[in-house]
Structure 1
């Protein structure tokens, strides 16, 4: 890779990182080209050199972070030996998020923006659908009935818990884990 190409790639990465920082800090609609460029240490014209629009940059930044989080969740599945252990690990992973932390806020802002941005909605759905299918197949391979539907319910539970945390409501996670584990044990193997 030439040094110019390497510098260009580094600038793109700084812009994406700046977006991931600014969206939770300011909110999706308050991130401007000027503010983003300033955070990344570049001129505003550089933003549009690397991305067709500010919205395209914001989409790429948030989808990149969502994929990173899903990769971390995939790692949980790699270490879980049973459906019960997988559910326990997924739901326990919620503890690392307060609901007011930058990743939680980034996801909430992205979900809100997706309500008005069809392209973003499609990209987020792609990330969620991909993981739900992988998790559903994982559950199916371990004998869980209605595996993909069960995967959807478990993932919705994780999202719901994160949203509730942002509102200051945190049900006892052990009680939630026990309730959700029943979904993967009725008719399947634990």
Structure 2
């Protein structure tokens, strides 16, 4: 392994550890020492890669976001757009342990964004990327004839808003909302605009 590869592996390990620690105890309780211990690196090495908590938090959020829904487009151009969109919806809801951890990080970001301009810009940027991701799946369906022509921006915004609202209920373990209910509610809400069946696709 080259020096550059070792440095990249160390950085990845630190970011993974930071995500886990922040999700577990909240950003306000996180210290660089705790992250270093969890990552199994020295505090000096951690500071070599990330000189402040704020930079580490921003990188951890970006890292977590980049890992979300990596299987959404498995199958490439042969995957129906409805399946791609359904996979995106699946990855935007806290449907397993990893995604629940991602949601905890998002919740930390939401809180920080109310008081910190840098965190607010990061949140808006990540939402822009989500919006583009959802919109691309809808546009793909329109091009293929699976979906009818629609206001892609409006439908994407609706999907994201429903995922946020129902995702919070799932994180709270609200007995009125389970994962199947959330998925079905979102799909039924957007199906008329997409001109597709109201049943959530098999993914």
TM-score, normalized by length of structure 2?
A: 0.74
Aligned counterpart for 2:159 among listed residues 136, 154, 159: 154
User: How far 1:65 moved relative to its partner?
Assistant: 0.9
CA distance in 2, matches of 1:15, 1:99: 17
> Which shifted more, 56-65 or 171-180?
171-180
**Cα distance in 2 between the residues matched to 1:146 and 1:58:** 35
Structure 2 residue 136 is matched with structure 1 residue 123: no
Query: 1:18: which partner in 2?
Result: 17
More helix, by proportion: 1
User: In the alignment, is the contact (CA less than 8 A) between 1:24 and 1:106 conserved in 2?
Assistant: yes
Conserved? CA contact 1:70–1:131, under 8 Å: no
* Post-superposition offset of 1:72: 4.0
TM-score, normalisation: structure 1: 0.79
**Unaligned ranges ≥5, structure 2:** 143-147, 197-203
**Residues 1:95 and 1:38: Cα distance change in structure 2 (over 3 Å):** closer
Bigger drift between 97-106 and 16-25 goes to: 97-106
User: Runs of 5+ in structure 1 lacking a partner?
Assistant: none
Q: Aligned residue pairs: how many?
A: 184
**Aligned counterpart, 1:179:** 189
Q: Deviations over 1:119-157 (max 9, x none)?
A: 232223222212313432442450432111111111121
> CA 1:140–1:176 in structure 2 vs 1: closer, same or farther (change >3 Å)?
closer
